[in-house]
Amino acid sequence: MLRLGAVLLCLASSCLAGSAAAGQLKVSPIRVDLSAGQPMSVINVGNTGRSASLIHVRVRAWHHRTGQDAYDESNDVLINPMIFKLEPGQEQLIRIGLRRPQAKPREVAYRVFIQEVPQETRSRERRIATLLRISLPIFVAPVEPDDSILVWRVEPKAEDQLVLSVENAGNLHTQISSFALLRQGGAPLTEVDGHTYVLAGQRREWVLPRVALGDDAVLTLTAASDKGPFTTALRLDGATPLEAVQR
């Protein structure tokens, strides 16, 4: 049975700034941070297009379920306004706030979805309407913010598959921008680019093709995150799993 494990660097979360644009909508900032001391924030939505847009805003609790993103109904976060119309060149402030103060040991995550709503038109022409949807994270700080501790594992799923997983044992999220699992000598087993959040106390996973590694195999895991790059070696002595620990 093939099984590898690694506990990686303790990583603290960092605050992101900037704006996101999709079609004729521009949104700023691209992340919302709330806490018991700062229970409210605002998002600015602007219409950079040539036509009016009807916008609907909703918030969902954000989890990783079976290694994938999942969103559940929640009334923990209040938003105002929930629906509004934006004329070309117009901007709207969306107010976001906690319904009640949260005092939890781990960071809590939500997603705010800003989406265009179809509008009736008198035109008889057949047109394909492209509706825009922007999703932004909301993080509510724990009582005592600490660090993220990532635990990476590789284990068999089927005769021809492996599961690479990462579990966040800390109380703050981490954002991974890329990672690679390399054979001894540097040949990649898998490479993944694209920003991936690993929420506090939760797990992400990827299914990989299973390969013959041989005895005394040494794999190298490299990753880039919001706290910088890190690398760790994973060694497998026959069928006995060993752990490589970095802190």
- Tell me the per-residue pLDDT of 78-127, one tens digit each, with 9 for 90 and over: 999 999 999 999 999 999 999 988 889 999 999 999 999 887 654 555 55
Domain boundary, last residue among 140, 175, 206: 140
CA distance 156 to 4: 10
Query: Do 164 and 192 lie in a common domain?
Result: yes
Picking from 172, 163, 224, the residue whose alpha carbon sits closest to that of residue 199 is 172
Q: What is the pLDDT of residue 212?
A: 61
pLDDT tens digits, 180-196: 888 777 788 778 888 89
Top pLDDT among 111 and 51 is at: 111
Picking from 205, 116, 220, the residue whose alpha carbon sits closest to that of residue 161 is 205
DSSP codes, 44-85: EEEE-SSS-EEEEEEEEEEEEETTEEEEEE--SEEEE-SEEE
Task: At 113, give phi and psi (nearest 5°).
Answer: -110, 120
Domain count, the chain: 2
Q: Which domain holds residue 219?
A: 4-13+145-245
- DSSP assigned state of 170: S
**Residue 195 in contact with residue 176, Cβ under 8 Å?**
yes
CA-angle at 20, arms to 147 and 190, nearest 5°: 60
Query: Do 135 and 150 lie in a common domain?
Result: no
Query: Do 150 and 129 lie in a common domain?
Result: no
Listed range (14-28, 44-58, 91-105) with the worst mean pLDDT: 14-28
Query: Do 155 and 113 lie in a common domain?
Result: no
- Average pLDDT of the chain to the nearest whole number: 79
Residue 80 has a CB neighbour count (10 Å cut-off) of 11
Domain boundary, last residue among 73, 105, 140: 140
Query: Do 200 and 153 lie in a common domain?
Result: yes
Q: What is the pLDDT of residue 22?
A: 54
Residue 17 has a CB neighbour count (10 Å cut-off) of 8
Query: Do 192 and 119 lie in a common domain?
Result: no
Query: Do 239 and 128 lie in a common domain?
Result: no
Domain boundary, last residue among 95, 115, 140: 140
- DSSP assigned state of 37: S
Query: Do 159 and 128 lie in a common domain?
Result: no
Indicate the pLDDT class of residue 237, thresholds 50, 70 and 90: very low
Query: Do 156 and 128 lie in a common domain?
Result: no
Kindly report the length of the chain.
247
Query: Do 190 and 235 lie in a common domain?
Result: yes
Top pLDDT among 66 and 93 is at: 93
CATH number, domain of 203, equals: 2.60.40.1930
CATH number, domain of 132, equals: 2.60.40.10
Q: Which residue has the tokens 């990686």?
A: 8
Q: What is the pLDDT of residue 88?
A: 93
Query: Do 164 and 120 lie in a common domain?
Result: no
Q: Which residue has the tokens 């297009």?
A: 49
pLDDT tens digits, 126-174: 554 557 889 999 999 999 888 778 888 777 677 677 777 888 888 999 9
**Residue 234 in contact with residue 6, Cβ under 8 Å?**
yes
